[in-house]
Amino acid sequence: MDLTDDAVIRIIQAERPPRATRAQHRIHASRLLTGRAGSMRHITAKRSPTGHLMPFKDTVDNTAEGASRGGPTQPTIDFTCPRFAVMEGAGRVLLPLTISRPLEKEVMVRYETVQGTATAGEDYIPVVDGRVTIKAGETSSSDIAIVVLDDDIVEEDENFWVRLTTVSDGAVIGKVAVAEVT
């Protein structure tokens, strides 16, 4: 069966999905900023050095222990919110931490990035053992800064995660220990 060039072009155009409108892009961006169902579904796995998915080993070994009234006995440290959005051209994304009450001594928070649909090394600089030090008496800390790489490729929104792994003695990791960056 021989098809003319015009017939081939019509078939290709019929099979191509319609282009998204500006309104659809705005709605999509709003949903990403306010949260959407299923956005954290890939955080339970990470890529092994061979590229296969493997389950996370829970390295958060110093979770908040309850006092007699059910509250934590030590200050908790966690992200201010579970989702952050950044444009590629911004150069970096800042992830602020929340401290439940002033620290009695200096505390070191360790964190790592976890690859999602964004590619480590191409879309952002991966962090294996990042550290933030919070001084005694502080009620807020320096933000965790992740470098975002810009390229000339037009892509759909991509994401990766930043996960708090451990906190030195004097505080514990709170409930928002993983933040998604889109």
Residue 4 forms part of a structural domain: no
Residue 161 forms part of a structural domain: yes
Residue 137 forms part of a structural domain: yes
Residue 156 forms part of a structural domain: yes
Q: Domain holding 175: CATH number?
A: 2.60.40.2030
> What pLDDT score was predicted for residue 36?
57
**pLDDT digit string (tens) for 38-88?**
444 444 444 444 444 444 444 444 444 444 445 558 899 999 899 999 988
Q: Give how many domains the chain has, as a whole number.
A: 1
Has residue 16 got a pLDDT over 50? yes
Has residue 103 got a pLDDT over 80? yes
Residues 165 and 144: beta-carbon distance below 8 Å? no
**pLDDT digit string (tens) for 112-149?**
999 999 999 999 999 999 999 998 888 766 789 999 99
Mean pLDDT for the chain? 78
Token duo for residue 131: 């550290």
Q: Which residue has the higher pLDDT, 18 or 128?
A: 128
Residue 164 forms part of a structural domain: yes
Residue 3 forms part of a structural domain: no
Output the pTM of the full model.
0.62
Range of the domain at 116: 39-181
Residue 20 forms part of a structural domain: no
